Structure 1
Amino acid sequence: MREFITYEWFTIFIVLALISVVMAKSLHSLRFNDFIYVVGNSKYLKIYSRDQKFIDTFDGFLFFNFTVCLSIFIYHSYSQFIEPLNFKLISFLKIGFAIATILIIKVLVERLVASLFEIDNIIDDYLFQKTTFKNYSGIILLVANLFLVYTNSYPEIIIIATISVVFLLNLIGFYSSFKTHQNAINLNLFYFLLYLCALEIGPYILLYKIIRDYNV
């Protein structure tokens, strides 16, 4: 009965994630088609970075998918490699809320820093690139979760392969931004390294501590 309830909840959350992706595609069909081919093609980043909005429904729906799918993926990864978890809806929702809150606050702080140092254009482009590849990672996580939830075949391989693909994908995005703004980074290397430690590494350490205390 417990396993049935657990997977019933996973089905509900996966359906919600699928609905959010469908909504993004329905409301922004042309943009979604360009988004799907963003890896290896800079067309999407060049076109849509010019039309950034503080509140964007397309990114909002895909961010919801990312948050839900990452929460499910974390649950399975933790259960597979650390210790089996007894599913608790409240704890699961807390993980999702923590992920969303940390990422949103992170973006707001980054924009504040950009305003203080008057580098809004550079940071806006960088944040758009990160958001794009993060949302693309959400699509990959959605597919991986379908295998993890509804099949029992090689979960360790699925998890490791998914982490590798997501890491590589975001590394490609980071390298792309680095190449675009390489001259500016070289002139401010100390501040760039400080930024990486404070705003790129720090929040994920905090998220890891929250995940580590999942059962608390």
Structure 2
Amino acid sequence: MLRNAPTYELFTVLIIVSVIFIAIAKSLLPKRFNELVSVLGHSNYLKIYSREQKFFDKFDALLFVNFILSAAIFSFLWLHYKSEMLVPSIDELFKLVFAIGSFILIKVLVERLLGSLFDIDKLIDQYLFQKISYKNFLGLLLLPINAILIFSYRPPITVIYIIVILLMLINILGLISTIKTHLNSIKHDYFYFILYLCALEIAPYIILYKLFFSF
């Protein structure tokens, strides 16, 4: 009896949806898209577009959808890396998309609420814009990585962990960039800033990490 070959239609659909969202974002604002791609080497993107930020930005929203889909696919691949047949599950992928999207959106809403309570809305808005920008950049990186892992190359688990570490480093670079930008505001209240880091930047990811592996 022939062994059933794994089917990747669901992965293919999600990747095509991500590509469509990226293409729409690039067609709407091609200059901004090109500057976002080089955000690691140049801070012009963050300086220019943080001033033009709106509560709902179509460009960021389109790329954010790609980030959530790409992060969910990569999380699924990581969780099931040892599986001989990597057959995507609609239910599990939906849960990952919902969990990642809800986690980030709730975190953003809590940070905006704190900004309003402490009357630092402008500072929080700029901070959130920088974080979302780096997440959107990560989404652009994850799309080709996912495609290679699914359709082309099955690397050793060490490579997967290296990819995870690199993604974390990029996220940390984004945080460092934000700290440097607002250093004058932070240095007057180091205690509150450290408290903020522990409560809203470190603790939630530790909880997410534990939930991720429990899931």
TM-score, with length taken from structure 2: 0.90
Of 3, 8, 24 in structure 1, the residue corresponding to residue 6 of structure 2 is 3
Deviates more, 1:151-160 or 1:119-128: 151-160
**More helix per residue: 1 or 2?**
1
CA offsets, 1:119-153, max 9 Å, x none? 22221111111111110000111111011111134
Distance 1:66 1:145, change over 3 A: same
Q: 2:119 is paired with a residue of what secondary structure?
A: coil
Shift of 1:203: 2.5
Deviates more, 1:44-53 or 1:197-206: 197-206
Residues of 1 paired with 2:70 and 2:22: CA distance?
11
CA offsets, 1:57-77, max 9 Å, x none? 101111000000001101111
- What is the identity percentage for the equivalent residue pairs of Structure 1 and Structure 2? 45
The residue identity in structure 1 corresponding to 2:149 is: L
Distance 1:39 1:148, change over 3 A: same
Segments ≥4 residues shifted beyond 3 Å? 81-87
Partner of 1:79: 80
Residues of 2 paired with 1:83 and 1:106: CA distance?
36
Distance 1:152 1:24, change over 3 A: same
Shift of 1:97: 0.7
Partner of 1:197: 198
Distance 1:85 1:160, change over 3 A: same
Following superposition of structure 1 onto structure 2, how do residues 44-193 of structure 1 map, counting pairs within 5 Å?
A: 44-80=45-81, 87-193=88-194
Distance 1:2 1:206, change over 3 A: farther
The residue identity in structure 1 corresponding to 2:144 is: V
Shift of 1:158: 4.2
Shift of 1:213: 3.6
Shift of 1:15: 0.6
Partner of 2:13: 12
Shift of 1:162: 2.2
TM-score, with length taken from structure 1: 0.90
What number of residue pairs does the alignment pair up? 212
Q: 1:53 is paired with a residue of what secondary structure?
A: coil
Deviates more, 1:148-157 or 1:28-37: 148-157
Gapped regions of structure 2 (runs ≥ 5): none
Residues of 1 paired with 2:25 and 2:89: CA distance?
29
CA contact (8 A) 2:69 2:97 kept: yes
Shift of 1:115: 1.2
